[in-house]
Structure 1
């Protein structure tokens, strides 16, 4: 702003800033790179979050909000007549049957509405759904492996117990949810379903999608679905929690904010260092401007204008690269408003970072007087008194050069060590929570589990004797390598809540064997003291209204509903007794054995899951033997520690791999700062080094002096990364260990491989830059150096 009584010198300031930019292309390039890198990291993190949120919103758009189970075909038709429902899909899961050719066929029936609203699980990519009894729709994996080259209109052969013979292919299903291992999805017609030996008229499921779902809240939809269930007498209605979670999903500002904090910190340190070196190099020029009448305010405006121009270029490049990266990785996740917001927030954050970075250098430029500018020498400060004589060697001179500007040394160390601190912390956490250790929590006794996995209710299977019987135990024990079979869970599926149908999950029997582990997982309340007291998982306590210690609720274990009292809450993360990588059937409740016997006196054995203790050296024989035994038992499933380890490795690769990449990108800030410092030293010490060479300093000694100085910077940065990062890594690892392993503190392990690579790059870069600088100086004669410096 120019006051009315002032002369407008804006044009002069603009020309001086532009000439300064034209004369310092190296400095300009370094600043642009630093700003662009920071803007890219921030914008890409925000774009990534926005894209993932948009993809998840698109996946649940026009899908289903609720599912009614235990309905008939006529009920599905009746629901379609309700005006508030836009679409109703009918579905029937017939179950899995083993083929003579070694695969498991998962048979389902679904109509066209169901295919549409459940397309994220199973999609009809070509053709149509079967109508006649001898027609099927199959997955591509089935056609490629067992269809003998058949396409739509061709014939495939089925050889399972219920479906065998030739069937005409009417459609091809996607593999989304259609294949897991050797399981192939096969859709049959309603005509074939009604002829199936196990057909139950009340075995359908109705998936419903509401009209104007965007204007209806989750509470309103839930209340209406309960009214419909009560009106038609449906036994259960479940709400699609993923739909409501993903429908309202927005940008994850926490994750993007964490990346922004690191990027802004690194960018601040680097840009401040670069501008401070630049200002110090041009102090004499600023003194000359002061001599001819320039004011401190004008000098501040010159430096600020330079920073704004360079910052604008860097921000533009970084934002464009961030958006381009997001579009390349997630082309289906484009969301214009979110992308615009990400770009705007990135620009504001980086603009503030640049303004804050040049505040110190601006004060130096504006506060220098003409006389001080003539005497000023970069890196000089208060001269300390020395005791005795100092022997001058290339090493001592390199060390003296390193110590002559302590603020610059601290800035370089900070910028280089930020990435090292993050890398040390992330790599340490990855070692602490290794995939093997995380998977072993679900397999404390052995490497395999056999459990009930059937569409039939558990109480129905158990009342008939159950597939987990003495005959199966003897078969398993006969497998070479199996040492013992342990009953680890006795459990039934439960519905519970205010109306005994609000929530659903597995209810485990509280036995003397698992009582100590359950008691250790107790977070509030007390253990059950009578048959009508239960323990509830703390996660369900958060989801349900009023489900706290002392609350009364309804509980149904398949049939009769009884009233129970919540005596305590337990931490489900400390139990980890579910099956499959996600552990979807982990215990939601623990109830005394007396309650199980009261509700189901006809059941003798409530066994739900067995743990197989085996010889690790015979793992392949054991797994193949167990798979062979279970091949003819469709009501049982096999869970292996290998599947859990594979899932944990995938999760670790995604999470920790991304954070490691971020740490190396932040390390680039320090690299930019180190390169700029090395080049600045070469230019500012041209005369000094020329004088030293004139008095006898050889090229080899000059190289050793520069290498010593460069290694001091990198050594200081490495020491900072260790001194600051190691305590942080230890504390973070202790907390991760405590949360991941039920309070157990895993001994800290230093990531030698990752940090070794980091230090190798760090010291190698410092030595390489210093040697290159010395080589360039040695190529010139001392007279040329003095002439260029003058």
Structure 2
């Protein structure tokens, strides 16, 4: 047989078919445009979101680094500097601390030396501005306005001098005069005073000590597996006291990457289902046309070629239109919508959307692949249609469905005679009649809702209000800083009963949780005390325990320790921080205690059940023995100072009955309405009006939230943009699908109208169908969608925020989707009726 090249004819037929079936092809074009728009927008806005996520972490960390090593020896430093996988490594050295200034005698500010790499490269992205120069002389210092204010030195500037009480690396209290050589602002530890290398060398501190040296590493890799991290730790040959910590985004880089891939995969699934469903409906509506083509000699291969040509024309135009629309929405419309809603943090600045050239290539490639895979099976179905099938085909009916529906309707009418039940059954039969199509519609809608649910849940979890978490959820923690002074004679009892009563009377204050404190000694004994001190010296001290064991045995008062007392109301929280179960009554009665672990490598099995003997500091004859019920890592219980013996946590009633000299070290405050600015101002006024106001400091959850919001920049706004796009995608997806579905059923609906179905009955039937689709989609979202959301959430939950589904976004989504599912079929059905009479619509089958 001679070959017949009919490609030009098929191309001409494809163009002609697109023009003649403009309604159906317009829906198909919109579907492709929507799929491309969806992919382009998600990639563009998603990349921007993760850029902001990266910026947030840089700001929260105070610099652009991936890991920090505590203590650094020369061999480790050389290894890191020659490692090709480490792009830069910077050092900071804690070179003592400032204890007092001319304006405040309760200052707590570190003196830090930063090398050139850390200051110029690692820290630079976290700074907003720098004035002056970094210190070079021993008496020069670089500060922030906030640091000066906290140190009681407000108003000073570059060139000014001030005198401080400074403790060096040997614990010696010295008087130092500093000159301000420069100032900066941005993110990080803004209370610190940055000093020169000459100052560090004279301080008696050494970067090889874990209490001094911090070695910040930046890797070339964006993603590092847990195995690679462990290999690096092993290769560093860390000492007993050393530790290498990875930042949150590097430590969770692989799970975050997989979580992002999961979101992209579900987005691609939405696009695939959209194109597949519309193509499936298009082929179903053209069964007679494809059958007649075969009667005039067109082969199945030629029909597939015809459909591919049609999809080529529509796909090219749709992808181009989708990318242009996505660019307009992502770069122009979306920022404007967000700003018009008033959703912009004052410190965040303008909403910036990033556009990457690779997004264009990736969108086009994925769209083309989605079009190909989505149209492949419908094209195969069209090629398999026989002329006999086409001759007897009626759109909207499965084989035997019409007869079965008629028989069932008669049965139903005879049985109940209720019109309402008949419409419900007709709607349900329509869902069941073409299970594949119904499943695709439900899965498509559920996929969009699942991605929306996942993104909104992630946004809520990464919100400033969620990230910020104080001890017990306290809104404010007030601290007596005088108790941190080395000289006990300078300690003052500031958080008195009178002050606490005034605090409780402040409008808006709901709860007050005082933390009692007293000094104790822990006499040597061969079991627990010996084990604890050996581990403490190995972990934190530069001299061996053997050199001081005898002194500890004979003079335990030289090794002071701290006892902490908590209220009965705080016991449930303490229990949450302890691995073992604590008997409440034994703890409150003073039979048991909890030990603060202090980062020692001791396990609960080694410690729990042992006895610890405590003596009143200065009165060794007054002793009490407690059985250890557990260990906690909660830093809140560390106390104003940390001794070498353990910090012992007991009930406040037991502490007050045991120690003559005790006071309240800090107090946690909860507001009736969290983050209430008016209540916080009332509490701060009470502190400022106190004659000893300079002896207080505080940690505010409200202030922390503002700092996090500032660090996040436009992250929240961009995330809201992603949610808006996904909501739009879900709606348009359903609109396209249902519109195409009703158009393919126009003959069936016209026949029902011809036998007496009113417009009201048709609308009620279509609304019922829409509600069935909504119910099925909600069921899929609440099961499979929620499971995927949880998996993605946990993979990206580096801050260990508890998984909570955001209630109001979910309620809003449910109400909106229900309204859309019920309303769109009615609108589409009414539009179909306006296009012609019943006879015309029946003939148009």
TM over 0.5: yes
- Residue 527 of structure 2 is matched in structure 1 by none
Aligned match of 2:773: 717
Separation in 2, partners of 1:761, 1:212? 46
Aligned equivalent of 2:262: 258
Q: How far off is 1:609 after superposition?
A: 5.4
Match of 1:175 among 170, 182, 186: 186
Q: CA deviation at 1:711?
A: 1.9
- Which one of 796, 807, 813 corresponds to residue 758 of structure 1? 813
1:192-231 matches, cutoff 5 A: 201-202=203-204
- The aligned counterpart of 2:504 is 481
Kindly tell me: are residues 395 and 777 of structure 1, through their superposed partners in 2, closer, same or farther at Cα, counting changes over 3 Å? Answer: farther
Q: Which residue of 1 aligns with 2:445?
A: 416
Q: Show the counterpart of 2:477.
A: 449
**Counterparts of 1:520-535 in structure 2 under 5 Å?**
none
Which of 385, 388, 392 is 1:371 aligned to?
Answer: 388
| Equivalent of 2:124 in 119, 126, 133 | 119
Listed one character per residue, the Cα deviations across residues 72-117 of structure 1 (whole Å, up to 9, x for unaligned) are: xxx9xxx99x997987666656548689799999685657726325
Taking a change above 3 Å as real, the CA distance of residues 325 and 395 of structure 1, as seen in their structure-2 partners, is same
Partners of 1:398 and 1:680 in 2: how far apart? 22
Cα 1:42–1:732 change in 2 (3 A) is closer
Task: Confirm whether residue 675 of structure 1 aligns to residue 742 of structure 2.
Answer: no
Tell me what 2:47 maps to. Answer: 47
Alpha-carbon deviation of 1:211?
Answer: 12
The reply on whether 1:285 has 2:289 as its aligned counterpart is yes
* Whole-Å separation in 2 of the counterparts to 1:678 and 1:31: 12
Q: 1:571 to 1:35 in 2, by over 3 A?
A: farther
TM-score, structure 1 normalization: 0.63
For the residues of structure 2 that align with 1:478 and 1:292, how far apart are their CA atoms? 97
Deviations 1:266-317 (A, max 9, x none): 2333222211111112112111211122222332343345446655665667
Distance 1:262 1:629 in 2: 58
1:500 aligns with 2:539: yes
Distance in 2 separating the partners of 1:97 and 1:47: 47
CA distance in 2 between counterparts of 1:223 and 1:312 reads 54
Structure 1 residues 765 and 615 mapped into 2: Cα distance closer, same or farther (>3 Å)? closer
1: CA distance between counterparts of 2:533 and 2:10? 77
* Alignment partner of 2:667 out of 595, 604, 611: 611
Matched residue SS, 1:368: coil
Unaligned runs of 5+ in 1: 552-566, 595-602
Q: After the TM superposition, which residues 327-476 of structure 1 pair with which residues of structure 2 at under 5 Å, given as runs? A: 340=358, 353-381=370-398, 382-383=400-401, 384=404, 385-386=407-408, 387-388=410-411, 390=413, 400=426, 403-404=429-430, 405-407=433-435, 408-420=437-449, 442-443=471-472, 448-451=476-479, 461=484, 464-465=487-488, 470=493, 472-473=495-496, 476=499
- CA deviation digits over 1:11-37, x for unaligned, max 9? 554444444445444133232134214
Distance 2:700 2:49 in 1: 33
Could you tell me how far apart the structure 2 residues matched to 1:254 and 1:498 are?
A: 42
- Give the direction of change, closer, same or farther, for the CA distance of 1:645–1:375 in structure 2 (3 Å limit): same
Q: How many residues align?
A: 705
What is the deviation of 1:369?
Answer: 0.6
| Range moving further from structure 2, 625-634 or 644-653 | 644-653
Aligned to 1:564: none
Q: Deviations over 1:644-688 (max 9, x none)?
A: 777899999999998876566445444334333454366556667
Distance in structure 2 (CA, Å) of the matches to 1:9 and 1:112: 74
The equivalent of 1:639 in structure 2 is 699
Give the superposition deviation at 1:126: 3.7
| Gap regions ≥5 residues in structure 2 | 83-87, 167-173, 336-349, 506-511, 522-531, 543-560, 584-591, 608-626, 650-658, 674-678
Deviation at 1:378, TM superposition (A): 1.6
SS in 2 for 1:500: helix
- Give, in angstroms, the shift of residue 473 of structure 1: 3.6
Q: Compute the TM-score of the two structures, normalised by the length of structure 2.
A: 0.60
List aligned pairs for 1:745-784, cutoff 5 A: 751=807, 753-766=808-821, 769-770=824-825, 772-773=827-828, 776=831, 782=837
Aligned twin of 1:128: 133
Q: Deviations over 1:224-275 (max 9, x none)?
A: 9989xx9xxxx987756449x7499579431222212422332333222211
When residues 725 and 519 of structure 1 are mapped into structure 2, their CA distance, relative to the original with a 3 A threshold, is same
Q: Indicate if the aligned counterparts of 2:468 and 2:701 stay in contact, CA closer than 8 A.
A: yes
8 Å CA contact 1:300–1:363 kept in 2: the answer is: yes
Counterparts of 1:633-712 in structure 2 under 5 Å?
A: 633=694, 637-640=697-700, 642=702, 665-680=725-740, 683-684=743-744, 701-702=758-759, 704-712=760-768
Q: How does 1:493-572 map to 2 (within 5 A)?
A: 500=539
Instruction: Tell me how far apart the structure 2 counterparts of residues 664 and 167 of structure 1 sit (CA, whole Å).
Output: 53
Question: What is the rounded CA distance, in whole Å, between the counterparts of 2:36 and 2:648 in structure 1?
Answer: 64
Query: Contact (CA 8 Å) 2:95, 2:205: kept in 1 or not?
Result: yes
Change (3 A) 1:267 1:641: same
Give, in whole Å, the separation in 2 of the partners of 1:691 and 1:266. Answer: 33
Matched, 1:32 2:88: no
Structure 1: how far apart are the matches of 2:237 and 2:660?
A: 35
Q: 1:420 to 1:614 in 2, by over 3 A?
A: closer
State the 1:358 CA deviation.
3.2
Q: Measure, in 1, the Cα distance between the counterparts of 2:520 and 2:263.
A: 44
Alignment check: 8 A CA contact 2:263 2:451 kept? no
Against the structure 1 CA distance between its residues 621 and 236, is the aligned structure 2 distance closer, same or farther, given a 3 Å change threshold?
same
Asked if 1 retains the 8 angstrom alpha-carbon contact of 2:162 and 2:178, the reply is yes
Q: What SS class does the counterpart of residue 173 from structure 1 fall into?
A: strand
Where 1:380 maps in the other structure, the secondary structure is coil
Q: Identify if the C-alpha distance between structure 1 residues 621 and 656 changes in structure 2 by more than 3 Å, giving closer, same or farther.
A: closer
Map of 2:526 onto structure 1: none
8 Å CA contact 2:471–2:636 kept in 1: the answer is yes
CA contact 1:511–1:592 (8 Å) conserved in 2: no
Q: Which moved more, 1:110-119 or 1:132-141?
A: 132-141
Conservation of the 8 A alpha-carbon contact between 1:47 and 1:322? no
Decide whether the 8 Å contact of 1:139 with 1:172 is kept in 2: yes
